[in-house]
């Protein structure tokens, strides 16, 4: 069973075994507006927790996407290069950005649960 955690920078991470799938939340996608370009990390790149991992550009702004946890990039979502709007259409599903082989599962404990994130967003 996968466990989803969230950051205060509006990234989500879904863990399945020792692999983490990462993207931006529905809230972040709504704030950005129409996504027009996504720059994804290269496979094999090592990224520390909180490190800059990707860039997402919309009609409103460009924004960094940070790695909620550290690890080595195992794949990037090729569909986003062809259709960046997938980020808007399904940000917490088909619009995922990249996958990491987790370096330290303990880092997940520092992230918010879905309930904590929902409360966090209410305060914004």
CATH number reported for the structural domain that contains residue 71 in this entry = 2.40.50.100
Task: State the chain's mean pLDDT as an integer.
Answer: 96
**What is the domain count for the chain?**
1
Does 123 fall in a domain?
A: no
**What whole-number distance in Å separates Cα of residue 34 and Cα of residue 57?**
9
Assigned domain for 122 exists: no
124 within a domain of the structure (yes/no):
no
Q: pLDDT band at 9, cuts 50/70/90?
A: very high
The pTM for the full model equals: 0.95
Residue 121 lies in a domain: no
For residue 53, how many C-alpha atoms fall within 13 Å in the half-sphere facing its CB? 33
90 forms bridges with which residues in the sheet? none
User: Is a pLDDT exceeding 60 seen at residue 8?
Assistant: yes
pLDDT in tens, 22-61: 999 999 999 999 999 999 999 999 999 999 999 999 999 9
| Domain carrying residue 45 | 3-108
Is 113 a domain residue?
A: no
């Amino acid at each position: 069973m996968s466990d989803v955690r969230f950051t205060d920078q509006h990234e989500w991470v879904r863990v399945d075994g020792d692999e983490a799938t990462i993207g931006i939340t529905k809230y972040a996608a709504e704030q950005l507006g129409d996504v027009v370009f996504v720059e994804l990390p290269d496979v094999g790149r090592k990224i520390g927790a909180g490190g800059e991992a990707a860039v997402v550009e919309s009609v409103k702004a460009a924004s960094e996407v940070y790695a909620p946890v550290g690890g080595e990039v195992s794949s990037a979502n090729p569909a986003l290069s062809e259709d960046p709007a997938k980020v808007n259409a399904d940000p917490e599903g088909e619009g995922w950005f990249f996958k990491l082989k987790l370096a330290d599962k303990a880092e997940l404990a520092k992230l918010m649960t879905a309930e904590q994130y929902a409360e966090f967003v209410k305060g914004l």
